């Protein structure tokens, strides 16, 4: 993928919408999409393409490690999003995926902080703990507390 194929021009910045307010606030809210490669790399088409290939390969390796960590112990999703973050330093599509993900996570956080939802979650947790405690009490009443290596058959 090169700069022309994803709609960007080499050495230019993605156009911004007309000024409707403070530009500093707009830049903080929506950073400019596009490559964040150093300027000297963007000047040479071959060097920039090599840079993009390198970023893609490194991001792909991190995403693959994250996918491997999903069924194994480890922070799989965190590593996958880290790989997408690496891709987002160079590719617009990854920047858009990252924006969408951040928006969905903040929406879920707001829903989780809703007092009704928190109350429901606390009630469900207490009910679950009571059920586990009751099952454990029945087990101890029925079989007693015996270490597994001392159980006689």
Residue 11 has pLDDT above 50, yes or no: no
The pLDDT of residue 132 = 97
The pLDDT of residue 69 = 92
Q: What is the pLDDT of residues 19-33, one digit of tens each?
A: 555 545 555 566 677
Whether this model's pTM surpasses 0.95: no
The neighbour count for residue 59, using CB atoms within 10 Å, is 21
The pLDDT of residue 151 = 64
CA distances (Å), origin 39, targets 45, 48, 58, 108: 12, 10, 21, 38
Give the span between the Cα atoms of 118 and 107, in whole angstroms.
15
Of 141 and 58, more confident:
58
Specify whether the CB–CB gap between 122 and 130 falls below 8 A. Answer: no
* 48 Cβ contact partners less than 8 Å away, ≥ 6 residues apart: 2, 3, 10, 35, 37, 41, 42
At 131, the pLDDT band (50, 70, 90 cuts) reads very high
């Amino acid at each position: 993928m090169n700069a022309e194929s994803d709609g960007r021009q080499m050495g230019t910045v993605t156009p911004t919408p007309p000024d409707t307010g403070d530009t500093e606030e707009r830049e903080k809210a929506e950073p400019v999409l596009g490559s964040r490669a150093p300027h000297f790399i963007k000047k040479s088409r071959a060097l920039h393409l090599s840079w993009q290939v390198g970023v893609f390969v490194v991001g792909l390796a991190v995403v693959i490690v994250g996918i491997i960590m999903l069924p194994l112990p480890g922070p799989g999703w965190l590593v996958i999003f880290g790989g997408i973050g690496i891709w987002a330093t160079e590719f617009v599509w990854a920047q858009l995926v990252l924006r969408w993900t951040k928006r969905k996570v903040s929406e879920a956080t707001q829903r989780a902080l809703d007092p009704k939802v928190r109350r429901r979650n606390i009630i469900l947790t207490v009910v679950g703990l009571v059920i586990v405690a009751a099952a454990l009490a029945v087990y101890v009443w029925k079989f007693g507390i015996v270490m597994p290596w001392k159980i006689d058959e």
